[in-house]
Amino acid sequence: MKNSKLHRRAAVGDMEAIKDYIMDNVLRLSQKAENFGLLAAAFILVERHPENT
């Protein structure tokens, strides 16, 4: 949902749609953070134990 659509829904008080929008973005960001964490962990393992690669 684009921000303009979100603003229209907020103007009419569609709190359920706003909550869904926020939760979708939170989930998307948390998945990106998790992927970054896994990538960082893999990099650290390779740096500490290069003989395993």
pLDDT digits (tens, 9 = 90+) for 5-37: 777 777 777 788 778 888 888 888 888 888 888
Helix (H) or strand (E) holding 52: none
Q: If 0-12 CB within 10 Å is exposed, 13-18 middle and 19+ buried, where does residue 37 land?
A: exposed
21 within 8 A of 1, measured Cβ to Cβ:
yes
Q: Is the pLDDT of residue 2 over 70?
A: no
CA 3 → CA 20, 22, 43, distances in Å? 13, 11, 37
Q: Is the pLDDT of residue 38 over 80?
A: yes
Per domain, the residue ranges of the chain are 3-52
